[in-house]
Structure 1
């Protein structure tokens, strides 16, 4: 495998870190572009990854960013940038503007390849961050730099919020009957390996690549079944109507024109409703339905195994807690 210099933006995030590890493991020269100085622990983590070089840059300053990327002269840029909140302002600043500035800098530096970590949910855009991601995807596709756009399905982390509550005997919360949505979740490690593989795969160039973990697709009710089985608890579900989020969004939107707080809260309610009602699978353009069969799979890590590790790490495995 040819060793190349790769610049990773968003390298301090959960996915960015494991992507850096995977690329270093493949023998590439990795430069981590950070927006702020890492803590001592974080900095030590980067050095432990095999001496990854760290560069600081203001992604909102196009000229300074251009100079930084030009000095690095990467063959490839990998962007794991993503807005943390999904609010309209944050989405515009990070999902679109920061990535756009990075792309312009990459073009100026003569970078050959730009890989973007996007999201599968942009197939049916209804939210501010989805529109921001799509706007940048379009810009990247139209750029002279070769592109790869990776759209993962759900992450293990996003499906782990109820592990502790179920282990402690609380009900598993469902939207509707728990079968409204399905996904093929992928682990951070498997996603990082997939991204690393794109570096040397000519078939990945100028492609939009949806990717999930090992199937079959799983519903929220199925996630609950996994947890009840692992913890030895009797199945106990509580249903929340997704319409509640829509109603909350409508009420909060009334204050959006005069208050950023109301605008953000309204968007959060819309985000909650979206994920309660939309599957994270490939959308069949002919039928308009989500397709498990059309959603590619990669890796070997399973949600079952992930839940087992969480329960063991927290001392919550079956038989360790009383009611």
Structure 2
């Protein structure tokens, strides 16, 4: 089996490549560093030659809605076209839990990406991940105001990037789902409380302000939007173990 991974040098991509190689499959990495550009399409035909599966774990360079929509629309179209030309039999794309419910921000961009994949003639699988532990950390930096870090009191089951990559690799070597698999962590938190735990563990003395109006990557989130909507694949790593590893 020959699996091509687009976004292979990213946080999830590098781990997915390692996981696929553990499955004993041939892996081809696609990134600008390897001479393939998902935005311009340059080098994709060469990289996907002979591919059985294309794994799309690319990510937009910006979480802003307009930039995200533009990136995913262009990159996904190019990847789908190249995969179809190469005769690939399975397209696996990484998305986010909650994408189908939100009409704004980065989540809207991911929902539109999902819709493009579903409309394509290629057999497909969509893996939706709950927020990564690293995403919560990044969000704390993005949501700092004069009175502290603002975080919404919404429920999350944050997941480690290792567990997400393992799920993506597992789906890639299996039969197409023609649907969605959600991946979440083993514990449930409120986002504001989790943010406070993370800051305390880092020795960060900023206050966490519980703000129902706080946005997540440009979208206003309801209490249960970020929880899996169907039985999910549950990761192994807890928040405490993740902190210890860091």
TM-score (norm 2): 0.83
- Counterpart-to-counterpart distance in 2, 1:225 and 1:87: 25
Which residue is equivalent to 2:96?
119
Which residue is equivalent to 1:201?
174
Structure with larger Rg: 1
- Counterpart-to-counterpart distance in 2, 1:110 and 1:149: 19
Structure 1 or 2: more helix by fraction: 1
Deviations 1:211-260 (A, max 9, x none): 10113x11134425745886899x985425454x6xxxxxxxxxxxxxxx
Which residue is equivalent to 2:235?
299
> Are the structure 2 counterparts of residues 65 and 133 from structure 1 closer, same or farther at C-alpha, using a change threshold of 3 Å?
farther
Structure 1 or 2: more strand by fraction: 2
Matched, 1:239 2:209: yes
Which residue is equivalent to 1:56?
35
Structure 1: any 5+ residue segments left out of the alignment?
38-54, 165-170, 246-268, 284-293, 311-323
The 8 Å contact of residues 192 and 209 in structure 2, kept in 1 or not, is answered as no
> Are the structure 2 counterparts of residues 236 and 150 from structure 1 closer, same or farther at C-alpha, using a change threshold of 3 Å?
same
- How far has the Cα of 1:152 moved from its partner? 0.4
> Are the structure 2 counterparts of residues 231 and 241 from structure 1 closer, same or farther at C-alpha, using a change threshold of 3 Å?
closer
> Are the structure 2 counterparts of residues 86 and 205 from structure 1 closer, same or farther at C-alpha, using a change threshold of 3 Å?
same
1:89-128 superposed matches below 5 A: 89-128=66-105
Which residue is equivalent to 1:211?
183
- Tell me: higher relative CO, structure 1 or 2? Use CA pairs within 8 A at least 6 residues apart: 2
- Counterpart-to-counterpart distance in 1, 2:216 and 2:136: 19
- Structure 1 vs Structure 2 CA RMSD: 3.2
Which residue is equivalent to 1:290?
none
Indicate the SS of the match to 1:210: strand
- How far has the Cα of 1:69 moved from its partner? 4.1
The 8 Å contact of residues 95 and 129 in structure 1, kept in 2 or not, is answered as no
How many correspondences in the alignment? Answer: 241
Which residue is equivalent to 1:289?
none
Which residue is equivalent to 2:144?
none
> Are the structure 2 counterparts of residues 137 and 237 from structure 1 closer, same or farther at C-alpha, using a change threshold of 3 Å?
same
Structure 2: any 5+ residue segments left out of the alignment?
142-146
Indicate the SS of the match to 1:139: helix
- Counterpart-to-counterpart distance in 2, 1:97 and 1:18: 24
1:70-219 superposed matches below 5 A: 70=48, 72-161=49-138, 173-175=149-151, 180-202=153-175, 205-215=177-187, 217-219=188-190
TM-score (norm 1): 0.65
- Counterpart-to-counterpart distance in 2, 1:125 and 1:273: 7
- Counterpart-to-counterpart distance in 2, 1:89 and 1:225: 30
Which residue is equivalent to 1:40?
none
Indicate the SS of the match to 1:160: helix
